[in-house]
């Protein structure tokens, strides 16, 4: 039985189960592309707003410490000092089992130095902590950290540093990893919102914060660049993180502090409710809506995208677009599916299956992927006409949904004979000379995909 450490994440998207594998040809040829249906996209005021920093005018953007201090303000640093000193007071060393080290109260300047040491360790990797304090003659390298802090003091601070108020030894209630960092994390989360004016193109995705220690919340997502650590649901804009939700591992757990009205009243799965939760947040001081109608598009991968979700986002005035899958995650196999909630005469709630992508488009992917020429585009609309659905042939058939594009606009692709990526080579090989026009809907996901590489 696999350990909790190697257990695969419950939201992992499974590989497509093809009726006919992409390297084989179906006996029945695929249908010829039909005319794209009429579709009225959601109006977005400005497609080219990339977002901008919202920094105080007196801040020197060339001073790293000034930028760091926007997030780690003097007020929050003073709280960290207080909590760290309090923890050292509550948990003194056991003189019978440990080598006693007299604790000297820390201060704001020393914690700045402690953070500096941590940043240096993240940039310059050594095999052990002690190596950062070895000298040039014995180790071959000498690190700058020894000029600002001794090894013993670093270990003391590392043991007692706290990002939330510490609890006394008598408090034996279970504590999660997120409880331990909640105060500091909430401060940084709100600061991230305040210091940036989000642009048009937003994205929601899951990211992994690498952690190799011991914690119940560690997950494993093999497809991620950093597969093992803490899972976080993130809202970003071209590389800047605007907001996030923690994730608690477990079959009956999931996003932490999720607005349950989206799951219980509207019938969304927990995964899709993450998107709605992040995009309906309000300013903590003014209660103003953060993401206004007609101003934003959220780009999603196939873990989230559905007709029901994009329709709900359209009701909020937020555009949506993303790839679509034909498989279920483990969470969905266990019953956490989106659907339409109905209440019968007796008051009991019943969830009816939600609308899926047009079956004709799904069949193109599952059966005819090897027979369709690169660049061929098929389209359909949802039953209520609020969502446009596409099947486009890349290396394989890609399923896609959008509320902001009807598939008829085009743009000129920058095609190079020396391009390294597979898509550009296929464009060069398959398109006639000078025919480098592609559907506009393909441009934004490619550009935004680069800005989300850190997720």
* φ and ψ at residue 226, rounded to 5 degrees: -115, 95
How far apart, in whole angstroms, are the C-alpha atoms of residue 250 and residue 414?
45
Can you give the pTM of this predicted structure? 0.86
Asked if residues 427 and 442 have their Cβ atoms less than 8 Å apart, the reply is no
The single-letter DSSP state of residue 293 is: T
Q: Write the pLDDT tens digit of every residue in 191-242.
A: 999 999 999 999 999 988 888 788 888 888 887 788 889 999 999 998 899 9
pLDDT tens digits for range 52-72: 999 999 999 999 999 999 999
Residue 331's H or E segment, with its range, is: helix 330-333
Beta-carbon contacts of residue 263 (< 8 Å; ≥ 6 apart): 269, 270, 273
CA distances from 236 to 201, 240, 271, 279, 378 (A): 9, 5, 17, 11, 30
Q: How far is the CA of 285 from the CAs of 77, 227, 295, in angstroms?
A: 22, 37, 21
Please tell me whether residue 340 adopts helix, strand or coil conformation. strand
Q: Are 199 and 52 in contact (CB under 8 A)?
A: yes
From the number of C-beta atoms within 10 Å of its C-beta (0-12, 13-18, 19+), residue 9 rates as: buried
Helix (H, G, I), strand (E, B) or coil at 381: strand
In this predicted model, which residue has the larger pLDDT, 437 or 133?
Answer: 133
The reported pLDDT for the residue numbered 419 is 42
The whole-number pLDDT of residue 218 equals: 87
Task: Check residues 6 and 297 and name the one with the higher pLDDT.
Answer: 297
- Cα atoms found within 13 Å of the Cα of residue 326, Cβ hemisphere only: 18
Average pLDDT, the chain: 84
For the ranges 99-103, 175-179, 315-319, 321-325, the lowest mean pLDDT is seen at 99-103
Task: Spell out a b/e string for 141-150, using b for 16 or more CB atoms within 10 Å of the CB, else e.
Answer: eebebeebbe
Alpha-helix runs per DSSP H in 100-236: 108-123, 136-139, 151-160, 177-194
The percent of residues above 70 in pLDDT, for the chain, comes to 84
* DSSP, res 278: H
DSSP assignment letter at 63: -
The answer to whether the beta carbons of residues 104 and 186 sit under 8 Å apart is no
160 pLDDT band, cuts 50/70/90, is: very high
Query: Residue 454 above 50 pLDDT?
Result: no
Phi/psi of residue 172, nearest 5 degrees: -100, 10
pLDDT at 87: 95
pLDDT of residue 2 exceeding 50: no
Q: Residue 24 has what pLDDT?
A: 86
């Amino acid at each position: 039985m696999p350990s909790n450490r190697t257990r695969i994440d419950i939201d992992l998207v499974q590989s497509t189960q093809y009726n006919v594998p992409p390297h084989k040809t179906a006996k029945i040829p695929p249908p010829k592309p039909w005319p794209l249906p009429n579709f009225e996209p959601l109006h977005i005021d400005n497609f080219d707003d990339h977002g901008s920093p919202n920094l105080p005018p007196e801040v020197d953007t060339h001073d790293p410490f000034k930028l760091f201090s926007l997030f780690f303000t003097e007020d929050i640093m003073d709280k960290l000092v207080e909590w760290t000193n309090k923890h050292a007071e509550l948990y003194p060393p056991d003189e019978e089992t440990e080598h006693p080290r007299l604790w000297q109260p820390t201060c704001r300047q020393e914690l700045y130095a402690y953070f500096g040491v941590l940043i240096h360790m993240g940039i310059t990797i050594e095999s052990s902590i002690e190596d950062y304090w070895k000298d040039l003659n014995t180790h071959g390298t000498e690190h700058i950290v020894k000029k600002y802090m001794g090894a013993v003091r670093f270990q003391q601070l590392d043991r007692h540093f706290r990002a939330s108020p510490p609890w006394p030894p008598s408090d034996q209630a279970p504590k999660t990893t997120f409880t331990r960092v909640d105060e500091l994390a909430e401060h940084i989360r709100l600061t991230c919102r305040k210091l940036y004016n989000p642009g048009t193109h937003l994205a929601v995705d899951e990211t992994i914060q690498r952690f190799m220690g011991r914690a119940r919340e560690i997950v494993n997502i093999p497809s991620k660049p950093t597969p093992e650590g803490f899972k976080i649901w993130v809202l970003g804009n071209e590389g800047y993180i605007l907001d996030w939700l923690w994730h608690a591992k477990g079959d009956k757990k999931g996003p932490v502090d999720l607005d349950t009205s989206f799951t219980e009243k509207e019938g969304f799965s927990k995964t899709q409710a993450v998107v709605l939760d992040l995009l309906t947040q309000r300013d903590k001081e003014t209660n103003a809506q953060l993401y206004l109608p007609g101003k934003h598009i959220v780009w999603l991968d196939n873990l989230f995208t559905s007709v029901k979700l994009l329709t709900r986002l359209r009701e909020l005035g937020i555009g949506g677009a993303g790839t679509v899958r034909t498989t279920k995650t483990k969470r969905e196999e266990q019953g956490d599916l989106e659907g339409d909630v109905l209440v019968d005469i007796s008051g009991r709630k019943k969830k009816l299956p939600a609308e899926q992508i047009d079956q004709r488009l799904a069949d193109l992917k599952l059966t005819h992927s090897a027979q369709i020429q690169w660049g061929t585009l098929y389209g359909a609309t949802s039953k209520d006409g609020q969502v446009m659905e596409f099947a486009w042939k890349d290396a394989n058939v890609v399923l896609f949904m959008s509320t902001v594009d009807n598939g008829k606009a085009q743009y000129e692709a920058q095609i190079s004979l020396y391009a390294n990526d597979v898509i550009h080579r296929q464009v060069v090989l398959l398109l006639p000379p000078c025919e480098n026009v592609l559907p506009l809907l393909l441009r934004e996901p490619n550009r935004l995909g680069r800005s989300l590489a850190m997720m």
